Amino acid sequence: MIEVNTYKISSEKIPDEFNSFKIAQLSDFHNKKNNEGIIEKLKEAKPDIIVITGDFIDSRKTKTQISLDFARELVKIAPCYYVMGNHEARLNEIYPAFEKELIEIGVTVLHNEAITIERSSKAITLVGIDDPRMYYKKDSTENACQIIKNELSSIEYNGYTVLLSHRPEAFKEYVNADIDLALTGHAHGGQAILPFIGGIIAPNQGLFPKYYKGIYEENNTKMVVSRGIGNSLCPVRFNNHPEIIIVELGE
């Protein structure tokens, strides 16, 4: 039932060398089992890179080997980049060992930092930030947005910039930080999507969330919100298939 949805993103800031550059985004995996179909769909898409925007593991289902085995297959397809979500942040006892194994597998883990991806001497910037749940006990939107604002202000980046962040509710902070494209998850597509109404509920946004799936734009910033792949506390989705997102860059 997993869909592959493609968004074509254009900007004058994207170098010609990155026309048709494909980014596959996976989010909210939550230790999902039986992933052969996902791997096949990714192979068919032929992405240039794969990004994982948090909640790769689940704080209620801590069988990290499922996600590690999945990561071993992902790195065979394309270079992989990862940022943590709130579930990883809750698991401070087991997360360091999990991250160490991810790095050994070949996944690049980004902690409040920027790196460049180059093609024929031209580059775009990839920024990854930690989930704000790392830094406070009370998981409120106000706290999260303030920490994300602080994280972004501490990072130097230039050129066309793609941000990996778990949290869509901080869209205003991405706009204020002049991020060109933010790739996020966390909202699980609103769990259930009703015609003419939209998503029903999302973490840190509550009922009828503003940012729950698809693409949003303000000023020069675009944000893609993945509906995610797995489930956590609520195992049921309605009118809300799991998805792989393909972002294709161009002028």
Residue 238 reports pLDDT greater than 80: no
200 conformational bin, left if phi > 0, alpha if psi -120 to 50, beta if neither: alpha
pLDDT at res. 198: 79
φ and ψ at residue 47, rounded to 5 degrees: -70, 155
Give the closest residue to 198 by CA, choosing from 164, 225, 167: 225
Q: Which helix (H) or strand (E) holds 246?
A: strand 243-250
**Which of 115, 141, 111, 113 lies closest to 126, judged by CA?**
115
| Tokens matching residue 138 | 């009370």
What CA–CA distance (Å, rounded) separates 11 from 159?
11
More confident site: 117 or 212: 117
pLDDT grade, residue 53 (50/70/90)?
Answer: very high
pLDDT-derived band at 91 (thresholds 50, 70, 90) equals confident
pLDDT band at 87 (very low <50, low <70, confident <90, very high): confident
Residue 234 has pLDDT above 60, yes or no: no
Q: How far apart are CA 189 and CA 243, in angstroms?
A: 10
* pLDDT the model gives residue 232: 61
Domains parsed from the chain with CATH numbers? 3-250 (3.60.21.10)
Token pair listed for 160: 């066309």
Q: Has residue 16 got a pLDDT over 80?
A: yes
**Section 71-91 average pLDDT:** 94
> CA torsion angle for 5, 65, 60, 82 (degrees, to 10)?
-50
Note the pLDDT of residue 139.
67
Residue 231 pLDDT > 70:
no
Q: What SS3 state is found at 20?
A: coil
Three-state DSSP at 62 gives coil
- The whole-number pLDDT of residue 236 equals 64
Distance CA 178, CA 222 (A): 10
